[in-house]
């Protein structure tokens, strides 16, 4: 509430000034009370109070997009929907957030598709290594018909998938050697998400994969529990992983997709007009996250180039990585279903 500065009448001899001062004070007080009453009325008027939990800090592109999503929903719904954003793993890691969404303890989340694979195996199809070759291909898959089909698989898990947000392509950092070819990952202790397909990816390349919660990675790297990790640049920068890593290899081996999901009962409780408000805000949040990510990546590389050795992989090396990764595609073909995998292959141009 705004602080009100009262006046002492004994400090003024002019009665007119005193009366005017009292009038202004009463007017200010009335305005303050009206403002508080309006705020209380708006809070009381919210028909739907939703929580939006994620593990990212607010400075990340997706953290900023979550705040914009909240603002847009509350404004466009005319105050009928209230969103409480809970960032930075306040209610747990991605696995815990997904479980809470299923139980209705949290309404909204943006968990990584790889982690969702613990609940709905078909969602991890997007995390197959070297499946999405570039940004345009990613957009075509995630925002197209096959992306919609992947989101629809979540309905049986008490979640409604709306769209895909994301933090950019993942890269590899470590303290052993630059990663220039598949063999360079041999025996490196790699931290991975709590996701079977990511673990399989690194085990296939003869690395030693260790699942670890996102919030524990910095300490794990600093203490030598693990020697390397994979993440998009935004996460590497905001979590300051470059401080405890010697090498950063720009492998772009997988797009770090977040599925924007809502508890199924919470979603179905909304009338159609408010569902549309949410859909539009989710789409704008997705676009904001992607735009901020693209804007940030060049700046991030410039800022950390003196802190960590950065290398790109050659086209020849990329082909070797693709070939070395195909056993993982084969391993997960029946898990993600051949039908769905072939639909993605058709879009991205992989022969089968």
CATH of the domain at 254: 3.40.190.170
Note the pLDDT of residue 33.
35
For 297, the domain range is 47-348
Tell me the sheet residues that pair with 229. Answer: 173, 191
Nearest residue to 150 via CA among 14, 337, 275, 281 = 337
Residue 2 shares a structural domain with residue 87? no
122 within 8 A of 344, measured Cβ to Cβ:
no
Instruction: Tell whether the model's pLDDT for residue 266 goes beyond 60.
Output: yes
pLDDT, tens digit, 9 for 90 and up, residues 288-330: 999 999 999 999 999 999 999 999 999 999 999 999 999 999 9
Residue 116 shares a structural domain with residue 3? no
345 within 8 A of 351, measured Cβ to Cβ:
yes
Residue 99 shares a structural domain with residue 197? yes
Instruction: Tell whether the model's pLDDT for residue 24 goes beyond 90.
Output: no
State the Cα–Cα distance between residues 154 and 113, nearest whole angstrom: 11
Asked if residue 41 is part of any domain, the answer here is: no
Pairing mode, strands 81-86 and 48-53: parallel
Residue 170 shares a structural domain with residue 299? yes
Instruction: Tell whether the model's pLDDT for residue 20 goes beyond 50.
Output: no
When divided into structural domains, the chain yields a total of 2
Residue 143 shares a structural domain with residue 22? no
pLDDT, tens digit, 9 for 90 and up, residues 334-345: 999 999 999 999
Residue 23 shares a structural domain with residue 159? no
Note the pLDDT of residue 165.
98
328 within 8 A of 129, measured Cβ to Cβ:
yes
Note the pLDDT of residue 44.
58
Q: How many Cβ atoms sit within 10 Å of the Cβ of residue 149?
A: 14
pLDDT, tens digit, 9 for 90 and up, residues 97-116: 999 999 999 999 999 999 99
pLDDT, tens digit, 9 for 90 and up, residues 53-68: 999 999 999 999 999 9
Categorize the per-residue pLDDT at 45 as very low, low, confident or very high, splitting at 50, 70 and 90.
confident
């Amino acid at each position: 509430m705004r602080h009100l500065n009262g006046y002492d009448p004994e400090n003024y001899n002019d009665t007119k000034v005193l009366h005017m001062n009292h009038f202004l004070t009463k007017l200010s007080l009335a305005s303050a009370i009206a403002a508080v009453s309006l705020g209380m009325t708006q809070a009381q008027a919210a028909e739907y109070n939703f929580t939006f939990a994620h593990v990212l800090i607010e400075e990340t592109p997706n953290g900023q997009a979550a705040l914009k999503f909240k603002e847009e929903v509350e404004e466009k719904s005319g105050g009928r929907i209230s969103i409480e954003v809970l960032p930075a793993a306040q209610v747990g890691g991605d696995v815990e957030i997904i479980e809470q969404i299923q139980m209705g303890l949290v309404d909204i989340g943006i968990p990584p598709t790889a982690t969702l694979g613990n609940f709905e195996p078909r969602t991890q199809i997007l995390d197959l290594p070297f499946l999405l070759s570039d940004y345009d291909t990613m957009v075509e898959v995630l925002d197209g018909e096959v992306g919609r089909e992947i989101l629809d698989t979540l309905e049986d898990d008490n979640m409604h998938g709306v769209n895909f947000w994301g933090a950019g392509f993942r890269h590899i950092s470590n303290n052993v050697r630059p990663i220039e070819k598949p063999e360079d990952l041999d025996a490196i202790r790699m931290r991975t998400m709590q996701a079977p397909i990511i673990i399989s990816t690194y085990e296939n390349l003869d690395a030693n994969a260790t699942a670890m919660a996102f919030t524990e990675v910095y300490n794990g790297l600093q203490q030598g529990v693990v020697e390397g990790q994979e993440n998009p640049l935004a996460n590497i920068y905001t979590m300051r992983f470059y401080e405890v890593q010697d090498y950063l290899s720009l492998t772009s081996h997988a797009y770090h997709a977040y599925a924007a999901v809502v508890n199924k009962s919470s979603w179905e409780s909304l009338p159609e007009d408010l569902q549309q408000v949410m859909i539009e805000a989710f789409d704008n949040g997705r676009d904001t996250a992607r735009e901020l990510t693209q804007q940030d990546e060049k700046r991030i590389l410039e800022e950390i180039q003196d802190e960590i050795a950065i290398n790109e992989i050659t086209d020849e090396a990329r082909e070797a990585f693709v070939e070395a990764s195909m056993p993982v595609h084969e391993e997960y073909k029946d898990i993600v279903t051949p039908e769905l995998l072939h639909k993605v292959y058709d879009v991205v141009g992989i022969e089968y």
